[in-house]
Amino acid sequence: MPSPRLWLRNPLAIFTANGLDARGGLVVQDGRIVELVAAGQQPATPCEQVFDASQHVLTPGLINTHHHFYQTLTRAWAPVVNQPLFPWLKTLYPVWARLTPDQLALATKVALAELLLSGCTTAADHHYLFPDGLEQAIDVQAGVVAELGMRAMLTRGSMSLGEADGGLPPQQTVQRAETILDDSERLIRDYHQRGDGAQVQIALAPCSPFSVTPEIMRASAELAERHDVRLHTHLAETLDEEDFCLQRFGQRTVDYLDSVGWLGPRTWLAHGIHFNDEEIRRLGAAGTGISHCPSSNMRLASGICPTLALEKAGAPVGIGVDGSASNDASNMILEARQALYLQRLRYGAEKVTPEVALGWATRGSAKLLGRSDIGELAPGKQADLALFKLDELRFSGSHDPLSALLLCGADKADRIMIGGKWRVVDGEVEGLDLKGLIAEHTQAARKLIGTL
Ligand SMILES: [Zn+2]
């Protein structure tokens, strides 16, 4: 028995991410979009339910492609507020090494709730900390994802190159290769869903060139190939990292990536800033994706990702908020705004439009995660929708609703639908005690840094 057809009628504005006309809204049934309605038209088949969307700007659910949920516990921490990447990491590692399962659960819930309220329906997390007692980190995260009803790409991160062997992280945060690979295989088996509508997927994500061995990179690529899952890592974020690669491997970052079997369409990279023209060409030819993280790149003064050049070469580009110790907000709609403005500094105002930035945050991000069922509005796609109202002071006097979303700084969705179910209604996450969560998470954050 099919569920009732729901027509989201005549939105104030709609961004389909593919140029299709849906100015009359769209029809949802059984968790999917079944019809787009052109301007001034009615649905082809009558609908049992109608939602008046005339006050809403409607977009595909935004997709976050890079985060470290656990870092919500170390936002705006005074010792690292003014540090660039390497010293920032070295100061934070010993704190993060104390992370417990309960703290991770709270951190994950806070990050996901924050993302959800900012228009995000699918979120990738890069978790690479598995100190003693936290071996089940990804299992903890999968539980929270299910509770909130979001979609997630949980990546099994890893660190295997400690200080003793010339790496950056302290020894207590690294794991043995065998442990990492066995757990990766277990997680794929237990959690990775395939096909349209998947709620949880697993990818393999050795942390960065300066925290994992080439052996782990190679073995992860082989494992990903064997199980047909995706690969994720940080690359070309800072010049310190480039120097590290030159000194340790005698290679620039993309040569290193290629040498360990990662230069291909299965891979998406966080940051991707310091590439020369030849490297951009190679990344494009390989179809390797890039997660642009503008706020983090500005906060750590890492540089500006060459987004348009990468896209022109053939590399898909998506958006990531990055971890909360370097953003420090998990706000996807604001991140699209940051991307718009930072990229205008690089490419000029005419080339980087609100539609381009929203395209990265939706369709581009979906490509990075290897998904064709989300990221745009079209018949057959999942009914993952973000609806924003423009009734706050910040929008007063604005004219073009879609531009206003980014230019006036929308920061909160009014409604969110995931797979046909409303998860946010009137700006509130369904079934979530937000005040209680903030209180518990605040306590946990103080405990982690040792001030409680
Ligand atoms: Zn990161």
When pLDDT is averaged across residues 51-65 and rounded to a whole number, the result is 98
Give residue 198's pLDDT band: very low, low, confident or very high (50, 70, 90): very high
Q: How far is the CA of 320 from the centre of ligand 1 (A)?
A: 9
Residue 250 has pLDDT above 90, yes or no: yes
Q: Kindly report the pTM of this predicted structure.
A: 0.98
Q: How far is the CA of 158 from the centre of ligand 1 (A)?
A: 13
C-alpha distances (whole Å) from 383 to each of 234, 342, 378, 414 are 31, 31, 9, 16
Contact (CB, 8 A) for 160 and 213: yes
Query: Of all residues in the chain, what percent carry a pLDDT higher than 90?
Result: 98
CA-CA-CA-CA torsion sign (195, 199, 202, 208): positive
Q: How far is the CA of 25 from the centre of ligand 1 (A)?
A: 36
């929270």: which residue's tokens? 144
Q: How far is the CA of 195 from the centre of ligand 1 (A)?
A: 27
Residue 152 has pLDDT above 90, yes or no: yes
Q: How far apart are CA 366 and CA 201, in angstroms?
A: 13
Q: How far is the CA of 323 from the centre of ligand 1 (A)?
A: 6
Residue 58 has pLDDT above 80, yes or no: yes
Q: How far apart are CA 25 and CA 46, in angstroms?
A: 14
Q: How far apart are CA 159 and CA 171, in angstroms?
A: 10
57-61, 165-169, 277-281, 437-441: lowest mean pLDDT where?
A: 165-169
Q: How far is the CA of 208 from the centre of ligand 1 (A)?
A: 9
Q: How far apart are CA 367 and CA 289, in angstroms?
A: 8
| Amino acid of residue 10 | N
Q: How far is the CA of 424 from the centre of ligand 1 (A)?
A: 27
Q: How many CB atoms lie within 10 A of CB 431?
A: 9
Question: For residue 392, what are its two tokens?
Answer: 């706050």
What is the structure's pLDDT at 2? 86
Q: What is the DSSP letter of 63?
A: E
Phi first, then psi: give them for residue 140, nearest 5 degrees.
-60, -45
Q: How far is the CA of 60 from the centre of ligand 1 (A)?
A: 24
For the stretch 284-313, pLDDT in tens is 999 999 999 999 999 999 999 999 999 999
What is the structure's pLDDT at 336? 98
Angle at which helix 177-191 crosses helix 137-148, to 10 degrees, equals 20
Q: How far is the CA of 327 from the centre of ligand 1 (A)?
A: 10
Pairing of strands 6-9, 49-52: parallel
- Per DSSP, the residues of 219-243 read HHHHHHHHHT-EEEEEES--HHHHH
What is the structure's pLDDT at 240? 95
């990179």: which residue's tokens? 217
When pLDDT is averaged across residues 108-122 and rounded to a whole number, the result is 98
Q: How far is the CA of 207 from the centre of ligand 1 (A)?
A: 8
Q: How far is the CA of 237 from the centre of ligand 1 (A)?
A: 9
- Sheet containing strand 32-37, edge to edge, reads 32-37, 25-29, 6-9, 49-52
Q: How far is the CA of 325 from the centre of ligand 1 (A)?
A: 9
- Nearest by Cα to 138 from 90, 88, 190: 190
Q: How far is the CA of 66 from the centre of ligand 1 (A)?
A: 6
CA-CA-CA-CA torsion sign (205, 208, 211, 214): positive
CA 11, chain centre distance (Å): 26
- Nearest by Cα to 248 from 224, 213, 300, 282: 213
Residue 451 has pLDDT above 90, yes or no: no
Q: How far is the CA of 97 from the centre of ligand 1 (A)?
A: 16
Q: How far is the CA of 51 from the centre of ligand 1 (A)?
A: 39
Q: How far is the CA of 70 from the centre of ligand 1 (A)?
A: 11
Q: How far is the CA of 67 from the centre of ligand 1 (A)?
A: 6
Q: How far is the CA of 425 from the centre of ligand 1 (A)?
A: 31
Q: How far is the CA of 214 from the centre of ligand 1 (A)?
A: 19
The residue that leads in pLDDT, 450 or 216, is 216
On the CB side of 124, how many CA atoms lie within 13 Å of its CA? Answer: 35
Q: How far is the CA of 52 from the centre of ligand 1 (A)?
A: 39
The residues, ordered by sequence, that sit 6+ positions from 194 with a Cβ below 8 Å of its Cβ are none
Q: How far is the CA of 71 from the centre of ligand 1 (A)?
A: 10
Q: How far is the CA of 257 from the centre of ligand 1 (A)?
A: 17
Angle at which helix 85-96 crosses helix 239-249, to 10 degrees, equals 80
What is the structure's pLDDT at 1? 83
Residue 438 belongs to what H/E stretch?
Answer: helix 434-449
Phi first, then psi: give them for residue 258, nearest 5 degrees.
-65, -40
Phi first, then psi: give them for residue 450, nearest 5 degrees.
85, 20
Query: Of all residues in the chain, what percent carry a pLDDT higher than 70?
Result: 100
For the stretch 155-169, pLDDT in tens is 999 999 999 999 999
Q: How far is the CA of 451 from the centre of ligand 1 (A)?
A: 26
Residue 125 has pLDDT above 80, yes or no: yes
What average pLDDT does the chain have?
A: 97
Q: Torsion-angle region of residue 37: left (phi > 0), alpha (psi -120 to 50) or beta?
A: beta
Q: How far is the CA of 27 from the centre of ligand 1 (A)?
A: 37
Q: How far is the CA of 290 from the centre of ligand 1 (A)?
A: 12
